[in-house]
Amino acid sequence: MVKGLTKRSSNNLLLDGLDVRRLAQEFGTPLFVFFEGKIIENAQTVLNSLRLLGPKHRVFYACKANSNLAILKTIRQAGLDLEVNSGGELFKGLRAGFKPEQIIFNGVGKTETELIKAISVGLHCINIDSFSELDSIIAIAKDLRQEVSVALRLIPEIKDGGHQGLETGHSQGKFGFHPTQLEEACQKIKEAQPWVQLKGLHAHVGSQLVSPYSYQAALKRLLDLKREIENRFDFSLEHLNLGGGIPVNYLREELEYPHGCKGPSANFAQNFKASDLAKVLKGMLPEGLSLYMEPGRSIVGDTAFLLTQIIRKKFIRPGSAPWLIIDAGFNILLEALSYQWYFHLIAAERPEAPHDTGYFIGGPLCDGGDIFPIPGSDCPYYHRLLPRDMEEGDLLAFLDTGAYTLEQMTYYNGRLPAAAVMVTQEGEIRLIRRRETYEDLIAQDVL
């Protein structure tokens, strides 16, 4: 078993053998704690599942989920390739040791400068999102006299039924070409040969998907369009790309709430695996065609916890649950506000104690939205369950905080972002993101 978060009782997850008090004293809080072994395990699980369908299939980690250099290096060493969405992510990917031919460039708003860099270094593929972008790529490739491999991002018109803000596979969104635009796009590429080479098709249904059958529907759609393109334009496509979306079970277990209240939304408890995805896609791919995937959340989401400390305990109304004010607000866990995301919360030093007492949890920001309720819950009595007698100075842990957290931290209210450490496979604690200082708050300001 890899060192990390392990299930030890019916109601709690333990922080596997870690002295969290020592971590807080040495590195401060708030502090993200990552587990190298779990990252490697997740990466290889997805890769091995996809390879069950054929040896040529490839996994491109979506680094928007977490682009910390130590995380990227670990993922590269685990055998994955990389998907980037900006010049900044491309810079970090190259700095982390990925070769250009290992990198796919995705995204709806690639700039001219970013495209020049991507084409000049020879990335594996650029997923084109619009006619305007296609025109830019054609002009740049011709000007540089350098061939570029591309794929067309298409709208599969699939709604998975998951979190509304994370669905991207329908024409009410901002991503990709509608299938009715396919003929014009292919004609432009045909006329731009040999500088622009169409190598594949891309579709992304969304993140935290409900069912592996959404991928099956998307792949069927891409296969139909592939045949149409090849027949009409004499292209020979090499790959189909199904994007990311493999979910993480943030709920982990069924929680019991008194007073007849319901708990977190089922969207946070999706639990199909990469192996389930491989089963529903088996037999669909013709020989010689490569399948690409771009998972992010499923690689890093459950590989970390956020350690935070109770700053103040206060009572506002007689007879009501107390408020615990912690040192991590939505400046650290932005998705808790922007997507009303659920991160399971436990007492870090008493994880096996009964979590049966209700508390309101608030961050330190001067903002009424800086609270951590249970999304989707209708319970008016409390926000979170923790052991009784929680006090100032006690440590709490938000679980499954490896994805879209380091990437989204802010300096709001002059609060400093969190530091991060990694627990190596050998059990060593290594700093992977230093704690910032007040000087960092003004580093970009100009008087």
Which residues does the annotation mark as catalytic?
366
Decide: helix, strand or coil at residue 396.
strand
**218-223 LR contacts (CB < 8 Å, sep 24+):** 218/156, 218/158, 218/169, 218/242, 219/281, 219/284, 219/285, 219/291, 220/284, 221/154, 221/156, 221/157, 221/158, 222/154, 222/156, 223/284, 223/286
The answer to whether the CB of 23 falls within 8 A of the CB of 31 is yes
Those residues with Cβ within 8 angstroms of residue 397's Cβ, 6 or more apart along the chain or in another chain:
15, 20, 305, 306, 307, 308, 345, 346, 347, 348, 351
Those residues with Cβ within 8 angstroms of residue 236's Cβ, 6 or more apart along the chain or in another chain:
230
d(CA 293, CA 242): 5
Quickly list DSSP for 306-359.
Answer: EEEEEEEEE--STTSPPEEEES--TTT-THHHHS-----EEETT-TTS---EEE
Q: Tokens representing 197?
A: 């080479």
d(CA 277, CA 225): 21
The answer to whether the CB of 387 falls within 8 A of the CB of 12 is no
d(CA 274, CA 403): 17
Residue the block writes with tokens 């608030």 = 362
Residue the block writes with tokens 């369908």 = 53
Decide: helix, strand or coil at residue 128.
strand
Looking at the DSSP assignment, which residues form a beta bridge with residue 158?
none
CA-based torsion, 217, 218, 220, 225: positive or negative: positive
Residue the block writes with tokens 């596997």 = 16
- CA-derived radius of gyration, the chain: 23
> Cα–chain-centroid distance for residue 91?
19
